[in-house]
Structure 1
Amino acid sequence: MIKVGLTGGIGSGKSTVANFFKEHGVPVYFADIEAKKLMETSSRIKNKLIEAFGDQTYTNNTLNRAYLAKVIFNNKKKLAIINSIVHPEVDKHFANWVKQQNTPYCIQENAIIFENKKAANFDYIISVTAPLETRINRVISRDGATKEQVLARINNQWNETKKNELADFVIVNEQLSATKNQVKKIHNTLLNFAKKSNFS
């Protein structure tokens, strides 16, 4: 089965694009959602996080997100520790999920594929992009954040141009009808690639 990574900066509309692929019957693994679930359910993750950040990490067996957010605020070293605990478990979980799919290709939606040096895990990568102002406005209306807060989050991620240059496909997600057309085109291309790889 072909594995496709779907990435893009904050506010680019990755989830919208992922759901358009789902409309074509493509299974999508949302890495961020699954990571949050695993942080609640995996005893391996729980034990390692408590070891690294103390008993306050979980309250009544539930992840103390506010505490953890404070711990990693402006602290890249501590964020890297969390990532080193959570990401390998997500990778394992995704590998098991892939085995359960029965389609020509599947997708993992993940904002930081390039930043985490995970590109080699996928056969193809799709980058979702949108004009900066569009992205800022989307996040402001979605999260109730200020423009400054959104820009700070954008600046923490890779530049979109850099992602687009490394991706196999780029979707410009500004007008939904145009986005749907781009998704359909890429979907058909990936189906063809899958067919050829089965014959080779």
Structure 2
Amino acid sequence: MIVVGLTGSIGMGKSTIAEMFRRRGIPVFDADAEVHRLYAGEATAAVEAAFPGTTQDGSVDRVRLAATLNNDETRFRKLEAIIHPMVRAAEKRFLNDAHESGVAAAVLEVPLLFETGRDKQVDAVVVVSAASDVQRSRVLARPGMTPEKLDGLLARQTPDAEKRQRADFVVDTGGSLADSEAAVDAILDSLKSKRAEAYARHWQSS
């Protein structure tokens, strides 16, 4: 089974491309969705212990947490030390299930794939990208987003140009949906000749 890492900076269209993979029968693990799930229960106690006052009614209050983190890199690393092992455990369960189901490929959608060194744990990396003006227009249209918030998020992410350079495949979402669909089909066709090594090396349960 080929393990694909799907990544890209905020506003580049990762979710759209992930859904295209799903429609082609490729299972996709959404790391962001898993973090939301963890914040709603499993991670609550640990986050509250590390950052008092950031939870309410058994869940992490993301607004309070963001205010507490306040773009402090040390605090972000403290939070990541709590959350990342939980996400990785969920990813491993997902990949084990996918392998047992007999699929040829599975996708890990991880926004911080390069930043966390996870690109070394997959067989191929797909980077979703678009022009910076398209990206900013998309993100700033989101409720509650400001240029300052966006700049803070981008500062913690590997620059798009570097991601593109390090990718095995790039899907540019600045064009039409048909163009993106064609790019996904081309990637899947190319992966047929790719050697599967990452699952056995990094993920397979003993």
Give TM-score scaled by structure 2 length. Answer: 0.86
Equivalent residue, structure 2, for 1:191: 192
After TM superposition, list the pairs within 5 Å mapping 1:31-42 onto structure 2. 31-42=31-42
Shift of 1:148: 4.5
1:160 matched to 2:174: no
1:177 matched to 2:178: yes
Contact 1:39 1:86 in 2 (8 A): no
Equivalent residue, structure 2, for 1:130: 130
Q: List 4+ stretches of structure 1 deviating above 3 A.
A: 146-149
Equivalent residue, structure 1, for 2:49: 51
Cα–Cα, structure 1 residues 190 and 178, in superposed 2: closer, same or farther, change >3 Å? same
SS in 2 for 1:95: helix
Deviates more, 1:9-18 or 1:151-160: 151-160
In 2, Cα distance between the equivalents of 1:174 and 1:187? 20
SS in 1 for 2:192: helix
Deviations 1:101-148 (A, max 9, x none): 121010011111111111112111111110000101111223453344
Contact 1:104 1:194 in 2 (8 A): no
Uncovered stretches (5+) of structure 1, i.e. residues with no partner: none
Cα–Cα, structure 1 residues 57 and 149, in superposed 2: closer, same or farther, change >3 Å? closer
Counting helix residues as a fraction of each chain, which structure ranks higher?
A: 1
Equivalent residue, structure 2, for 1:3: 3
SS in 2 for 1:87: helix
In 2, Cα distance between the equivalents of 1:46 and 1:173? 35
SS in 2 for 1:142: coil
After TM superposition, list the pairs within 5 Å mapping 1:109-148 onto structure 2. 109-143=109-143, 145-148=145-148
Contact 1:3 1:106 in 2 (8 A): yes
Cα–Cα, structure 1 residues 71 and 147, in superposed 2: closer, same or farther, change >3 Å? closer
Number of equivalent positions: 194
Give TM-score scaled by structure 1 length. Answer: 0.89
In 2, Cα distance between the equivalents of 1:141 and 1:74? 22
Shift of 1:74: 2.0
Deviations 1:27-54 (A, max 9, x none): 1111011111012231xx3332222122
In 2, Cα distance between the equivalents of 1:185 and 1:28? 18
Shift of 1:24: 0.7
1:100 matched to 2:97: yes
Deviations 1:146-196 (A, max 9, x none): 34443443233111111111111111111221111111100111233269x
In 2, Cα distance between the equivalents of 1:8 and 1:25? 22
RMSD: 2.0
Equivalent residue, structure 1, for 2:30: 30
